[in-house]
Amino acid sequence: MTAVCSTRNLEMVRALGADHLIDYTRADVTQTGQRYDLILDNVGDPAMYKRLYENSLNPNGICVIVAGTFFLQLFQGPWMSLTGRNKIVTYMTVTTKEDMLFLKELLETGKVKPVIDRSYPLREIPEAIRYLEGGHARGKVVITVE
Ligand SMILES: NC(=O)c1ccc[n+]([C@@H]2O[C@H](COP(=O)([O-])OP(=O)(O)OC[C@H]3O[C@@H](n4cnc5c(N)ncnc54)[C@H](OP(=O)(O)O)[C@@H]3O)[C@@H](O)[C@H]2O)c1
């Protein structure tokens, strides 16, 4: 598995299980010539999205978009999937009980390793949102409810 992250996150991402790393501050993943069967996009940079789809997916590859704008998620992604050679799956937050139980199992068995950057108490939600909006949270920001 190849992962893309910044210099400061290289070691953390390696520890999560990445075999190959690309530092996005030094190289553009869409310009390496390497193609992939599956791309999981957790960033959703609109400037990069088309290049990722055209330059980095194998024929019949799948691009799963977790991030990005609503336009990308609801219209552009499904449209490109219908008209292009590759498949794009857009993905919104897990909400069903079954999905939550499956996620719980993945966490309990260690198949998913959570990375929690900061925790904030409920009353400090505005501060937590401000931190998240800065665009540099390393993993998740958690709100604790007592
Ligand atoms: N579909 C859903 O249900 C769902 C749910 C939650 C969130 N989202 C979306 O998922 C996206 C990620 O959210 P987030 O909470 O993780 O916060 P975020 O602020 O988008 O992500 C911050 C992290 O991304 C890294 N990063 C920034 N640009 C990158 C790039 N080009 N390549 C690789 N890494 C990059 C940053 O590293 P540096 O700080 O070192 O640059 C930082 O570690 C957002 O667009 C959010 O809206 C979707």
Cα distance between residue 136 and residue 47, in whole Å: 18
Ligand 1: atom nearest CA of 6 is 40
- pLDDT over 80 (residue 51): yes
Residue 77: per-residue pLDDT: 80
**Other CB atoms closer than 10 Å to residue 29's CB: what's the count?**
19
In short, whether 130's Cβ falls inside 6 Å of ligand 1 is no
pLDDT digits (tens, 9 = 90+) for 74-92: 888 888 888 877 777 776 6
Q: Are 46 and 99 members of one domain?
A: yes
In 3D space, the residue among 13, 59, 19 whose CA is nearest the CA of residue 35 turns out to be: 59
Q: Are 10 and 77 members of one domain?
A: no
Residue 10: per-residue pLDDT: 97
- Predicted TM-score (pTM) of this structure: 0.86
- Closest residue to atom 46 of ligand 1, CA basis: 67
Total domains in the chain come to 3
Look up the domain containing 123 and give its range: 115-146
Average pLDDT of the residues in 37-54: 85
Q: What is the mean pLDDT of the chain?
A: 89
Q: Are 56 and 85 members of one domain?
A: yes
Find residue 21's DSSP bridge partners: 3
In short, whether 89's Cβ falls inside 6 Å of ligand 1 is no
Q: Are 43 and 17 members of one domain?
A: no
Q: Are 75 and 106 members of one domain?
A: yes
